[in-house]
Structure 1
């Protein structure tokens, strides 16, 4: 599943630079995660980097974008092909 930033976000700016896929951007009020780009860091790291650095634990699995690890790996591979 891709991840989701809840309204508990304090806009601390630490998550955005940690995302290897560029999935995190500043929204109108809080940061947002593009589910088309989020692979939960599958293909890059063992853990989701944004979750690891978030000081308020406001990044959760997105219930509207359920994906298995295999699906996340396929998404990662497709993203790599687009940038190559």
Structure 2
């Protein structure tokens, strides 16, 4: 059994999905073949990180998502190391 932390980030991710920010950004910027994380998902991850109530530098971005339910927040197949 693997336990991962979700806290209030699930609510934030749900609101982002409901508003459609990821799809809109992907339409405007475009997606490249072979990329694991789309530009819209990166922005979603940045919003989640910003509202995660921690003050860590951006170079520790992937460390923020370690121990969190990344697949639940960002989508199936996405891991903290992809960010």
Quickly name the TM-score band, shorter chain normalised.
under 0.3
State the TM-score, normalized to the length of structure 2.
Answer: 0.26
State the TM-score, normalized to the length of structure 1.
Answer: 0.26
Judging by fraction of residues, say which structure has more helix: 2
Judging by fraction of residues, say which structure has more strand: 1
